[in-house]
Amino acid sequence: MNWYKQSQSEIDLGDEEPEWSYPGAEHDYNPYWSYVYDKKVEQKVKDFVEGYVNELKRDLFPQVGFLEDMKVAFVKLPRNAIAMYIDGTEPYIVIAIDISRIKRIVKKMNDLNYLEDHIKVTIVHELAHAIQQGVDIEYNEKEAESFARTYVDYGDIDRFWDEREPRNELV
Ligand SMILES: [Zn+2]
């Protein structure tokens, strides 16, 4: 048997989760410990997400100030969740996203063209939860969603954390 052909066919199986590495991160969390890799996500969607994450790191991170890095994992999530900020990972943020579920929601809303917009809002929403944890305030859905819409729609940063009291403030 030709070993080259054999290794090519192994590569083509493509069913296994991708390698996970996070250079520089202070934690060793791997999202594939907890969630199943969604192998159905197309390369063009992955490329879009990667490009958007780089955009956020370039444009948004410096304005927040304390975020170091962000990585997104393409997984299947339980309980109808479309995405999750992995608790405790900031400032080396890990976000798990369920693209197949977002696609189903977008389809249901009959606006397939807005898939990219939904993905953007979803990622920035989860990023807001990382910010909430980073400044030690409670997770707040309304704040996270408003932060995401304001940023994605207008490019503005709603600095909600400036007005909130830290949850463990010692007097
Ligand atoms: Zn949320």
Dist. CA 82 → ligand 1 center (Å): 10
163 membership: H or E segment, kind and range = none
Dist. CA 170 → ligand 1 center (Å): 27
Range of the domain at 136: 25-156
What are the backbone dihedrals phi and psi of residue 38, each rounded to the nearest 5 degrees, phi first? -95, 100
Count of the separate structural domains present in the chain: 1
103 inside domain: yes
Indicate which CATH number applies to the domain containing 47: 3.40.390
Dist. CA 11 → ligand 1 center (Å): 36
User: What pLDDT does 107 receive?
Assistant: 83
Dist. CA 78 → ligand 1 center (Å): 14
Print pLDDT tens along the chain (171 aa).
Answer: 444 444 444 444 445 788 899 999 999 999 999 999 999 999 999 999 999 999 999 999 999 999 999 999 999 999 889 999 999 999 999 999 999 999 998 887 776 678 999 999 999 999 999 999 999 999 999 999 999 999 999 999 999 999 887 776 555
Write out the DSSP string of 41-91.
--HHHHHHHHHHHHHHHHHTHHHH-S--EEEEEEEE-STT-SEEE-TT-TT
89 inside domain: yes
45 inside domain: yes
117 inside domain: yes
